[in-house]
Structure 1
Amino acid sequence: MKRALIYAAATCVALTGTHAWADNDDDDNGFGLAGLLSAKNKEDLPPVILSAGMPLSDAPWTLESGTYYEFEIQGDGSQELALIGSEFFRAIWVDEIVVEGLEIRPLGLDSIEFDEAGEMEIGFIAIKPGSYYLKVPGSTGDTQRLEITIQ
């Protein structure tokens, strides 16, 4: 066994010119992030606007399961407004929520509320196919509801 380890180490040194166990200070191996979190798998969505009497979005969202998305929620402070959509939040994996440079990595969400003007950005991976929504609670108008389909 000992001879096999010595032989393997000597072979690595002979083939690479360095010790296989030596630390490499250059951590960039050129591969980048893999899979779901890679830059090639990321899409930006249009912002959701929270403003009294204004539509949340211009059009419904159609998302692809397994794709990483980012979107901003912009509240103008015209009224205390919230967004609910627990079914949607359970159909995605929330990577992070960024508020004024602070990154929050929650285990889950149920709703979001703006008491004053501000912005937040949410990064997530769409997981479970289906039809979902985000809406202003208590509202009945179509403009206060964002239809979301995950394919």
Structure 2
Amino acid sequence: MRHAFFAAAAVALVPALALADGAPREDWGRAGILSSANKAELPPITLSSGMPLSDAPWVLTSGTYYEFEIEGDGSAELALEGSEFFRAIWIDEIVVNDLEIRPLGLNSIEFDDAGTMEIGFVAIKPGNYFLRIPGSTGETQRIDITIE
């Protein structure tokens, strides 16, 4: 009985080990989902008083590892919020001044002074999300994000 259960579980997992186009994930190597073959760079975000956050919305693929930088220019204390987006991803690490932080979750980030932060994450839950400057209502003060 136990062997039948494990055999059925293995058969059920085989489709999960293939990409959407049916190609096997063998090229990912030992690091699996965190391998460089599964990594993409997103355009940086600049936090600057009165400036747009992004030129275009982000369209992400579930299961892909992404990295992006956020740069605060120090022109004002500015934050980014997007709790629904942060719950739809798995954050691998946040790097600030060469210090690596591996949080269990995130609600928002804030820059009191000029500086740079890099965030690495895996997109998980498909849906429509956003990151925005808290309290703002303008479309240029938010980034629309779709995870497919």
Report the TM range for the smaller structure's normalisation: 0.7 to 0.9
Counterpart of 1:91 (choices 73, 88, 93) is 88
SS in 2 for 1:128: coil
1:109 to 106, 109, 113: 106
Q: Which residue of the partner structure matches residue 40 of structure 1? A: 37
The amino acid that maps onto 1:126 is A
Instruction: Please identify runs of 4+ aligned residues in structure 1 that moved more than 4 A.
Output: none
The answer for unaligned runs of 5 or more in structure 1 is 1-30
Q: What do the CA deviations read for 1:26-53 (whole angstroms, capped 9, x no partner)? A: xxxxx95332111100000000110000
Q: Which runs of 5+ in 2 are unaligned?
A: 1-27
User: Residues of 2 paired with 1:122 and 1:99: CA distance?
Assistant: 9
TM-fit CA distance, 1:136 = 0.1
Equivalent residue of 1:139, what SS? Answer: coil
The corresponding residue for 1:19 is: none
Q: 2:120 aligns with which of 95, 118, 123?
A: 123
Corresponding residue to 2:79 among 65, 82, 87: 82
The secondary structure found in structure 2 opposite 1:146 is strand
Q: Please say if 1:72 is aligned against 2:69.
A: yes
- For these two proteins, the number of residue pairs brought into alignment is 121
SS at match of 2:67: strand
Alignment equivalent of 2:130, drawn from 122, 129, 133: 133
RMSD of the alignment, in Å? 1.0
The amino acid across from 2:94 in the alignment is I
> Where does residue 51 of structure 2 map in the other structure?
54
The TM-score normalised by the length of structure 2 is 0.80
Q: Distance in 2 between matches of 1:93 and 1:106?
A: 9
The one-letter amino acid paired with 1:120 is M
1:104 deviates by 0.2
Corresponding position of 1:3: none
Distance in 1 (CA, whole Å) between partners of 2:132 and 2:145 is 11
Give CA-to-partner distance per residue, 1:62-91, whole Å, 9 cap, x none.
000000000000000000000000000000
